[in-house]
Amino acid sequence: MRKKLIAGNWKMHLGPVEARALIAAIRAGIDRDAAALGKDRDVMVAPPAILIPAVAQALAGSSIMLGAQNMHYEDKGAFTGEVSPPMLKGYGVTHVIIGHSERRHIFHETDVLINRKVLAALKHRMTPILCVGETQDEHDNGRALDVVLHQLRLGLENVGDDDMTAVAIAYEPVWAIGTGRNATPEQAESVHAAIRAAILERYGPERAAAVRIIYGGSVNADNVDSLVSKPDIDGALVGGASLKADSFARIVRARTR
């Protein structure tokens, strides 16, 4: 069975003091059950890059893993304002969100750039969480699957067979992000199943069965159970509701069947 992955994406929120307090409160909510929860789920938080050192410290001794929201694909160089894979690794970062819709739409990241970042994460033995998802317009025009599978194919260009199981996919329909209007479990499940089928076609049944495909877009404490109990929904990528310890701790405890 695939372990679920419950991931918090803090986006551009919090300062160092608030971040430490949030981690302390999340830990207070889940640490005592960490062993039981850890059997079938991984938990990760992705703070803004500048808060990674503070959060890494606050997570010492916890099973909660540390993620980044973005990174550059080169190890070093003249790239003003960017953060490299080795810098993240130096603080114990294990997961990197890549190609989030806000990166695609606000910062104009292309599929080619996103693919470079996926390959860089794999090279540095971090788990890339490749985000895919259609806009409202694309959804309304019945193009959701076309768009998602296209982003998937380009994002995974040159990802070898052996690396594929180290990749996670996040399906985040743009119309569901920050809107309070999540995809229904049935809607999400059908897209997740199509993503898995595309991975199966290219990488075979064993790898397709191992890859985690998580859902993001207005996940909260009330809807998480019904989403993650679907067979192809392997967890959640949570924005707003990951900024409050009680709601994130509840999401971490999601009923998965």
Q: Which residues belong to the active site? A: 100, 172
**What gap in Å lies between CA 233 and CA 170, rounded to an integer?**
10
* Nearest distance, CB of residue 218 and ligand 13P, angstroms: 4
Given the complex with ligand 13P, which of 191 and 219 has the nearer CB atom?
219
* Nearest distance, CB of residue 160 and ligand 13P, angstroms: 27
**What gap in Å lies between CA 38 and CA 32, rounded to an integer?**
11
DSSP conformational letter for 184: P
Chain residues that interact with ligand 13P, rule: CB under 6 A? 9, 100, 172, 177-178, 216-219, 237-241
Residue 138: Cβ within 10 Å count: 18
In the block, residue with structure tokens 């003091």: 17
Given the complex with ligand 13P, which of 118 and 208 has the nearer CB atom?
118
> Nearest-CB residue to ligand 13P?
239
Reading the block at residue 24, the tokens are 């302390």
**Considering only CA atoms, which of 251, 248, 239 is closest in space to residue 47?**
239
Given the complex with ligand 13P, which of 37 and 224 has the nearer CB atom?
224
Contact 126, 94 (CB under 8 A): yes
**What gap in Å lies between CA 122 and CA 91, rounded to an integer?**
17
* Nearest distance, CB of residue 178 and ligand 13P, angstroms: 4
Given the complex with ligand 13P, which of 208 and 218 has the nearer CB atom?
218
* Nearest distance, CB of residue 236 and ligand 13P, angstroms: 8
Can you tell me whether residue 229 is helix, strand or coil? Answer: coil
* Nearest distance, CB of residue 130 and ligand 13P, angstroms: 12
Given the complex with ligand 13P, which of 169 and 208 has the nearer CB atom?
169
Strands 212-216 and 168-171: parallel
What is the rounded (10 degree) CA torsion for 238, 12, 83, 59?
-60
**What gap in Å lies between CA 175 and CA 196, rounded to an integer?**
22
